[in-house]
């Protein structure tokens, strides 16, 4: 495997050799170094913000048509580099190739297209009485992203910012930064005006926080952990900048007593274990009627036995490794916690998987008879671990589902759609899927409570990037 050495940052329309340190990127598959990126200096961060600031007046005045042409070019170039991006992310994150193609690269590609189409339908001004109300781009946006779906987060944020007339400084995750460098290559090739997009890389508590604190950054759009989100909220408050936070989750999958159990478990397990459980919306708490617990345990065991662990680049693999050694250790620690807390380990556990490469593998694991006061039911594990919680009444199920600091996603299963919708309405969470319905990338995506305060995707995602201005006494256009 060739090593992806990137020693430059992208500032003001050109690549510049970084004067900072080096961050090594490890392959999830083997643990070996697969790339290096700069740990940018404070000076580089300041220059990137200054370049974005300088580019904003002209870029924000361009027409929607003009800006969308760049999104079209960006989408075309992503298509051309589809295979390279897919493999790169599979190696960095551990996602099996098939999922990588559809979700890691396919989804962001479609999101790009959706923003392009939505912008053409967007009303940027409206009359409210005597006032003309204008939507204007907010300014310089710092985009800070996590590693689990790296391209989705980068393109989702960058495309929305560019489409709405904002300029951007991107700081991707230090764990999986390489696809962001490909995006910067593409942006350089398509000739976006200098300073409209800038890329710095590095650690969160230094490079990330310098961006958040910078007085010339108008908005931070952030995807990552709730702990980092809290810190970003505090630091951003000093300069009263807007923050759109997309944070962690501990989502509940409520299976009602009249549900199609086999289907509910099949889809619920697939959801929880996709991307080796490294998904913010993963349905990690399966809530089942106590009377059906044994049946559900059998079904869960049978589903987990179908996974083939291995090299994500091998087409027969259905579950890859975790993204990093730190993530593997964290997940194994939580499995130890679950055992110590007295939950029933019904599948997997601490045994090392055999016949897999030397990377960061963990056996898919399920606990049953989990109580809501256990840490494995309350804390985000972010790995292939399912907690099954029995409940007695429908009200108990809703109470357990809502008894969490998080509120990102959820699901309900019932043969009675009205009953399912009644439960969905009672769940304090940003999304609920009834009977395994599909992800809708035009619907707003984001969290209640400590899962965040922003919305991405669709019209609501674009709205985050605007200020509102009320102009009184403006002439009425005929």
Q: What strands, in cross-sheet order, belong to the sheet with 466-472?
A: 125-128, 131-137, 466-472
Nearest distance from residue 347's CB to ligand NAD, in Å? Answer: 23
Nearest partner of 111 among 85, 75, 148, 58, judged by Cα:
75
- Contacts of ligand NAD in 272-291 (CB under 6 A): 280
Closest residue to ligand NAD in the complex (CB): 204
- Closer CB to ligand NAD, 5 or 234, in the complex: 234
- Contacts of ligand NAD in 136-165 (CB under 6 A): 144-149
Q: Which two tokens stand for residue 379?
A: 């804390």
How far apart, in whole angstroms, are the C-alpha atoms of residue 234 and residue 240? 10
DSSP bridge partners of 390: 288
Number of chain positions touching ligand NAD (CB under 6 A): 31
Nearest distance from residue 259's CB to ligand NAD, in Å? Answer: 26
SS3 109: helix
- Contacts of ligand NAD in 198-257 (CB under 6 A): 203-205, 208-209, 212, 223-225, 228, 231-232, 246-249
- Closer CB to ligand NAD, 66 or 375, in the complex: 375
Cβ atoms of 277 and 384 closer than 8 Å: yes
- Is beta strand 8-11 parallel, antiparallel or unpaired with respect to 285-289? unpaired
* x-marked contacts with ligand NAD along 432-471 as a string, rule CB under 6 A: ---------------x----x-------------------
- Closer CB to ligand NAD, 248 or 410, in the complex: 248
Nearest partner of 332 among 311, 320, 348, judged by Cα:
348
Nearest distance from residue 25's CB to ligand NAD, in Å? Answer: 13
Cβ atoms of 224 and 247 closer than 8 Å: yes
Nearest distance from residue 265's CB to ligand NAD, in Å? Answer: 23
Q: Does 28 bind ligand NAD (CB under 6 A)?
A: no
Cβ atoms of 90 and 320 closer than 8 Å: yes
Clarify whether 399 is annotated catalytic: no
Nearest distance from residue 147's CB to ligand NAD, in Å? Answer: 5
How far apart, in whole angstroms, are the C-alpha atoms of residue 443 and residue 218? 25
Nearest partner of 149 among 436, 363, 441, 428, judged by Cα:
441
Q: Does 26 bind ligand NAD (CB under 6 A)?
A: no
Catalytic hit among 246, 297, 456, 464: 246
Quick one: 437 exposed, middle or buried, by C-beta within 10 A (0-12, 13-18, 19+)?
exposed
* Catalytic (active-site) positions: 246
Residues that bind ligand NAD (CB under 6 A): 144-149, 171, 173-174, 203-205, 208-209, 212, 223-225, 228, 231-232, 246-249, 280, 380, 382, 408, 447, 452
């Amino acid at each position: 495997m060739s090593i992806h050495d990137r020693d430059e940052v992208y500032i003001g329309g050109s690549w510049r050799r970084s004067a900072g340190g080096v961050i090594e990127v490890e392959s999830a598959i083997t643990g070996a170094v697969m790339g290096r990126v700069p740990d940018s200096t404070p000076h580089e961060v300041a220059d990137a913000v200054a370049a974005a600031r300088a580019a904003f007046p002209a870029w924000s005045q361009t027409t929607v048509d003009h800006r969308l042409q760049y999104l079209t070019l960006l989408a075309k170039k992503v298509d051309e580099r589809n295979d390279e991006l897919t493999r790169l992310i599979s190696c960095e994150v551990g996602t099996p190739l098939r999922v990588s193609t559809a979700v890691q690269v396919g989804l962001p590609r479609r999101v790009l297209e959706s923003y392009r189409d939505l912008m053409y339908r967007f009303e940027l001004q409206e009359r409210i009485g005597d006032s003309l109300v204008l939507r204007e781009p907010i300014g310089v946006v710092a985009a800070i992203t996590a590693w689990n779906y790296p391209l989705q987060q980068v393109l989702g944020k960058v495309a929305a910012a560019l489409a709405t007339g904002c300029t951007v400084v991107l700081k991707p995750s230090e764990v999986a930064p390489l696809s962001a460098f490909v995006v910067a290559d593409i942006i350089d090739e398509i000739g976006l005006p200098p300073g409209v997009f800038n890329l710095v890389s590095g650690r969160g508590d230094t490079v990330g926080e310098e961006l958040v604190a910078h007085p010339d950054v108008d908005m931070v759009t952030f995807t990552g952990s709730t702990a980092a989100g809290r810190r970003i909220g505090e630091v951003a408050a000093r300069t009263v900048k807007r923050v759109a936070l997309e944070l962690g989750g501990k989502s509940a999958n409520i299976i009602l007593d009249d549900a199609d159990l086999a289907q509910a478990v099949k889809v619920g397990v697939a959801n929880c274990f996709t991307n080796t459980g490294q998904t913010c919306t993963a349905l990690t708490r399966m809530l089942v009627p106590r009377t059906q617990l044994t049946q559900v345990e059998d079904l869960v065991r049978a589903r987990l036995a179908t996974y083939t662990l291995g090299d994500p680049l091998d087409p027969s693999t259905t579950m890859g490794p975790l993204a990093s050694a730190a993530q593997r250790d964290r997940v194994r620690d939580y499995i130890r916690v679950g055992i110590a807390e007295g939950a029933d380990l019904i599948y997997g556990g601490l045994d090392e998987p055999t016949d897999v490469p030397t990377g960061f593998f963990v056996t898919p694991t399920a606990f049953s008879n989990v109580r809501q006061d256990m840490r494995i039911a309350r804390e985000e594990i972010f790995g292939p671990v399912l907690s099954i919680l029995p409940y007695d009444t429908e009200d108990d199920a809703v109470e357990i589902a809502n008894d969490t600091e998080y509120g990102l996603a959820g699901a309900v299963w019932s043969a009675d759609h009205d009953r399912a919708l009644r439960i969905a309405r009672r769940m304090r969470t940003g999304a609920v899927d009834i009977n395994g319905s599909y992800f809708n990338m035009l619907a707003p995506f984001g969290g209640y409570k400590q899962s965040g305060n922003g919305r991405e995707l669709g019209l609501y995602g674009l709205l985050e990037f605007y200020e509102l201005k009320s102009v009184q006494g403006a002439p009425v256009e005929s």
